[in-house]
Amino acid sequence: MDTTARFILGDLTLDVAPLNDPLAQLGGKLTGFAEAIGISPDALSRYRHVAAAWPETRRCPEASWSVHAILASHPDRFELVKHPPHGRHSWRCADAHEVMASLHTAQSS
């Protein structure tokens, strides 16, 4: 599935089952919606969380959904995603993992 489709599903799922909705847990609205559209509840939950972390206006069209997913918990993700590392024109998943690993290493020190 491509980046746009995953974000569309994540956004739709947020409409159906917002993050702060106690009925949205697996087994509730989320599972019913997932079954209705033929996607696993776990995948739909992941799309939902990534969409919540990346409001539509803050997403980077040059970065894949997977890169957005990897960077979703980075505190500076909105600025970070604008500047691919190593002089590249776009992010690779390996780059995003490297950035997250260095963040966790810095936090541990």
Share of the chain above pLDDT 90, in %: 67
Residues 48, 66, single domain; the answer is: no
pLDDT for the residue 19: 84
Residues 109, 78, single domain; the answer is: yes
Residues 109, 83, single domain; the answer is: yes
Residues 47, 77, single domain; the answer is: no
Residues 31, 3, single domain; the answer is: yes
Segment holding 107, helix H or strand E? helix 93-108
User: H/E/C letters for each residue in 30-94?
Assistant: HHHHHHHHCCCHHHHHHHHHHHHHCCHHHCCCCCCHHHHHHHCCCCCHHHHCCCCHHHCCCCCHH
Please tell me the pTM assigned to this model: 0.88
Number of structural domains (the chain) is 2
Domain coverage including residue 104: 61-109
Residues 31, 5, single domain; the answer is: yes
Please state, in angstroms and rounded to a whole number, the distance separating the CA atoms of residues 66 and 93.
7
Residues 9, 37, single domain; the answer is: yes
Q: What is the pLDDT of residues 31-46, one digit of tens each?
A: 888 999 999 989 999 9
Share of the chain above pLDDT 70, in %: 91
pLDDT for the residue 48: 94
Residues 2, 29, single domain; the answer is: yes
